[in-house]
Amino acid sequence: MDEQFRPTATETDANGEQTTSLPARNNRARNRKLARFGIVFAILGVLLFAYFVRKAGISQIAENIKRLGFGFLLILAISALRQIARCLAWQRCFESPYSLRFRDAFAARVMGDALGNIVPLASVAVSEPSKAAFVSNRVPLLVSLSALALENIFYSLSVALFIFSGTVALLLAFPLKPALRYASYGTLAVTLLIVPLGYLVIRRQWKFLSRPMSLVHGRGFGTAWLERMIPRARTLEARIYGFYERNSNRLLLILALEMCFHFAGVLEIYTTLWFISDVVAPTLLTAFILESVNRVINIVFKFIPFRLGVDEAGTGMLAKALGFTAAIGAALAIVRKGRDLFWTAIGVALMVRRGLSLRDLDQQSQTNVADAGQA
């Protein structure tokens, strides 16, 4: 196992023996509970997947996927562009004297996303810190965590803008059934709330981590743990806000790279539909709308592994509204799963090459986040 990933969450007992620390034990107990719920959601996802695939027509879906053929290699190539875009954005969130090589950023991102796909329900809690942990032998952990947080802030802004634009295009260009129309209105309302809120958080430099911790600490909860974490949270916040002040010339470039991620997604859907659709010729507008809705599905149903069932249902419903068939929509969702499985396999292979197990990574990611202030 790589030395920097060895479990270190230990304390010394009265006899001088090394024991697992209480926070680490609490983290593992919490993750076991999350895993139980994750298994339930995974089973429900499989049942939903079977139901909607059967409803759309198994033979029709199979025929649509068959049309894709070797075009799947082109889909993988386009999806690689998406990975590259976010890796480049992450690299540009590091400040001198620290920097991250592209190959390290790419491997960390692929491995972290693989964890997010195969660890039910706890994907964000495990996969995001793990990306920083994967490069802790290259840059200090607190530095990589703050850069990763910055990249995710820019990504979230790009997602909000992209979803808003796609929803407006859907409402203006196509007649919708009431359920889909009301869902679109709800999506617009949420994005209109998130973007100004995010702007205020950054503009006024709200203490989004340390202040809630301080409030909880003031009520006497988690006293010892919070006393250690509050200064570290303040340090992380200072790094994030300081970046905006010191690197204003990078902001548009980072946001542009995040938007490239979405535009590559539009191209991926357009290319897939070009191969599999025998009903309506795809357009960039329909691909744009489908990708924007796919972002919504990814966010809302992140806790379901590979968005089983809900992706087929949502994409199938929207595909019908755009003039395609439910079978084409389900086939599109299944092709996306094939793409995700490919990158997950790459991520797992990279982890195996490093001699890492899921248990090691879960424990170490929790430990590294807790010890970040020492970096």
Alpha carbon distance 79, 83 (integer Å): 7
User: Where does residue 73 rank: exposed (0-12), middle (13-18), buried (19+ CB within 10 A)?
Assistant: exposed
pLDDT confidence of residue 372: 43
Q: What angle do CA 90, 247, 106 make, to 5 degrees?
A: 10
Output phi, psi for 308, to 5 deg. -55, 130
Separation between Cα atoms, residue 1 and residue 45, nearest integer Å: 34
What 3-state class would DSSP assign to 40? helix
User: Tens of pLDDT along the chain (375 residues)?
Assistant: 444 444 444 444 444 444 444 444 555 555 555 556 556 666 776 777 777 777 777 888 888 888 998 999 999 999 999 999 999 999 999 988 889 999 999 999 999 888 877 765 555 556 777 898 899 889 988 888 889 988 988 898 899 999 999 999 999 888 888 888 888 888 888 888 887 777 777 777 777 666 777 776 666 665 666 667 777 777 777 777 777 778 778 888 999 999 999 999 999 999 999 999 988 899 999 999 999 988 988 887 777 777 777 888 888 888 988 989 989 999 999 999 999 999 999 998 998 888 765 555 555 545 444 444 444
Question: What is the 3 state secondary structure string of 76-112?
Answer: HHHHHHHHHHHHHHHHCCCCCCCCCCHHHHHHHHHHH
Domain ranges of the chain: 9-374
Cα dist from 236 to 8, 262, 280, whole Å: 22, 28, 50
Number of Cβ atoms within 10 Å of the Cβ of 367: 23
Tokens 């590259």: give the residue. 84
Q: Provide the pLDDT for residue 120.
A: 58
User: pTM for this structure?
Assistant: 0.79
Residues in contact with 259: Cβ distance below 8 Å, sequence separation at least 6, in sequence order: 158, 161, 162
Q: What phi, psi does 8 have (nearest 5°)?
A: -130, 5
Instruction: Find tokens 């970046």 and name the residue.
Output: 243
Distance CA 305, CA 102 (A): 28
| pLDDT score for 355 | 77
| Distance separating alpha carbons of residues 210 and 214, to the nearest angstrom | 6
Largest CA distance in the chain: 74
What is the pLDDT at residue 37?
59
Tokens 């990933």 correspond to what residue? 5
